[in-house]
Amino acid sequence: MNEKNRQAGRPRATSTFLANTPEPPYYAVIFSNVRTEQDPRGYAAMADQMVELAFRQPGFLGVESVRDVEGQGITVSYWESEEAIQAWKADTAHQVAQAKGKADWYADYRLRVALVQRENPR
């Protein structure tokens, strides 16, 4: 069995940025947002903490997150089920972060929940 087959057909990523999600179906939460200029240090600390917490949530499959120099950001988190998404939404520490995000950190955002149906081969 060659190296590729040992990895169940999954090419190795050249970057840790890309989430190593399993075969679909699974869920994606697409959070597109625009940062205010408020509180960059507080925001960064909370963002790091939320990623750390998300990794410990049941059903969490990974996350990809980018922010550009203008403060525009997209974070896509991947989940096994709707139930896993709901549990993360209801998490106490995450709710504090959500409230602070709405009040201070985000000028605008949209949050879409989607069922990933297929992945194109590279």
User: Which residue, 1 or 66, has its beta carbon nearer to a second copy?
Assistant: 66
Q: Which two tokens stand for residue 81?
A: 């089920």
User: Which residue, 1 or 122, has its beta carbon nearer to a second copy?
Assistant: 122
**DSSP readout, 20-57?**
---SSPEEEEEEEEEE-SS-HHHHHHHHHHHHHHHHTS
Residue 34 binds a second copy, judged by CB under 8 A: yes
Q: Which of residues 42-81 bind a second copy (CB under 8 A)?
A: 64-69, 72-74, 76
User: Which residue, 18 or 93, has its beta carbon nearer to a second copy?
Assistant: 18
